[in-house]
Amino acid sequence: MQSHKQYLEKQLKNASFREGYLREKKLAEIAIRIQEERQKLGLSQQELAKRAHVSQQQLSSIENGANYTIKTFLKITDALQINLSL
C-alpha cells in the first residue's frame, strides 16, 4: 500500500497538479499566518473584521483557506500591521 507521502510525490510530478498544489499551499500558509497574528493580538474574528472593514464571514473564510482578492488580504494585513511576503 502506498503512503500519503509517496502518493503526493508521484502526483507532484504532474506540472498542472504541482501548480495547483503549490497555490493552495501558499493560501493555507497565509490563512495560518493571519489567524496566528490575530490570536497573538488577542483579537476575535469580529474585532479584526471591524478593523479591516471586512465582514466576519469573509475573515472566517480567509482563515479557512478561501481565496479572496489581494485588496481584501491587504485590508487584513494592514489591520494586523503585518507584512506577508509571497
- In the numeric block, which cell numbers belong to residue 61? 473564510
> Is residue 73 a contact partner of residue 62, using CB atoms and an 8 Å limit?
yes
pLDDT band at 69 (very low <50, low <70, confident <90, very high): confident
- In the numeric block, which cell numbers belong to residue 72? 481584501
Span 32-47, average pLDDT? 95
pLDDT value for 76:
92
Q: Which CATH architecture has domain 4-80?
A: Orthogonal Bundle (1.10)
Q: What value does the mean pLDDT of the chain take?
A: 91
pLDDT value for 9:
94
- Percentage of residues of the chain with pLDDT beyond 90: 66
Give the pLDDT confidence of 18-38 residue by residue, as tens digits: 999 998 888 888 889 999 999
> Is residue 20 a contact partner of residue 8, using CB atoms and an 8 Å limit?
no
**Structural domain boundaries of the chain?**
4-80
